[in-house]
Amino acid sequence: MPITVNHVVISVSQGDITAWQGDMIVNASNSGLYGGGGVDGAIHRAGGPRIAEECAVIRQKQGGVLPGEAAVTSAGIMTFRGVIHTVGPIWKGGNAGEPMILANCYTNSLDLACAHEAHSIAFPNISTGIYNFPKELACKVALDSVIQYVRQRRIPGLPLQRIEFVCFERDNADLYKATLKTYS
Ligand code: APR
């Protein structure tokens, strides 16, 4: 069941984020913005070569994206208004600031979505695949940071109306649904 915080509907679904319907989707990328596997591969495949071309421009301009930060490209041939590429932390045991870096991924992506006047945004479960971040902790960090952001309405007149966590795997979808309930 979705919850509503400060007029923003926050929900969880299971599926492929490239098939989601809304304004902007978030990609779990790497610091060089080189298309990879996982959700990154799915987004580049579905959007076509234009996304990689725009990632190359960002790379040339600013040398890439640091963990916790985010950058925007178009969505190529997908119908989204844009793709927000964020770089999650690689899990190194938990003492290298990984939770804070992951929280920054969510808040910096939300800042960019608001700057682009997005009304809706979908997040994958950043860092919980190839980057090996423990799923339960990642879920808590994701929900804490997004809900705190919406509660504080960091951007005056927040344009966002809908935030969805699109979980590829059943266990993550169940975990997010159960955890979201605890915030209502
Ligand atoms: N839609 C939504 N979620 C997906 C999809 C998809 N089509 N495909 C995979 N996922 C999920 C995974 O199941 C996982 O829960 O996205 C989550 C994040 O996993 P990864 O894609 O492996 O991302 P991450 O752990 O952040 O690792 C990033 O992997 O692909 C490379 O270039 C990327 O180097 C970067 C690294």
pLDDT at 22 (0 to 100): 98
First to last CA, the chain: 10
Element (H, E) at 120: strand 120-123
Residue having the nearest C-alpha atom to atom 14 of ligand 1:
129
State in Å: Cα 13 to ligand 1 middle. Answer: 16
pLDDT at 153 (0 to 100): 73
Residue 86 phi, psi dihedral angles, 5° rounding: -115, 160
Q: What pLDDT, in 10s, does the model give residues 95-127?
A: 999 999 999 999 999 999 999 999 999 999 999
Q: How many other CB atoms are found less than 10 A from the CB of residue 12?
A: 23
17 lines ligand 1 (CB under 6 A): yes
DSSP-assigned beta bridge partners for residue 82:
24
Which of 12, 17, 30, 39 gets mutated to test ligand 1 (max ligand atoms within 8 A of its CB)? Answer: 39
Which of 141, 168, 172, 176 gets mutated to test ligand 1 (max ligand atoms within 8 A of its CB)? Answer: 168
Average pLDDT for the chain: 96
Fold of 3-181: Leucine Aminopeptidase, subunit E; domain 1 (3.40.220)
Who has greater pLDDT, 132 or 184? Answer: 132
DSSP-assigned beta bridge partners for residue 163:
10, 121
Domain ranges of the chain: 3-181
105 lines ligand 1 (CB under 6 A): no
pLDDT at 81 (0 to 100): 98
pLDDT at 105 (0 to 100): 98
Tokens of 5: 């915080």
Mean pLDDT of 164-182: 97
Strands 24-29 and 70-73: unpaired
pLDDT at 9 (0 to 100): 96
Decide if pLDDT at 156 tops 70: no
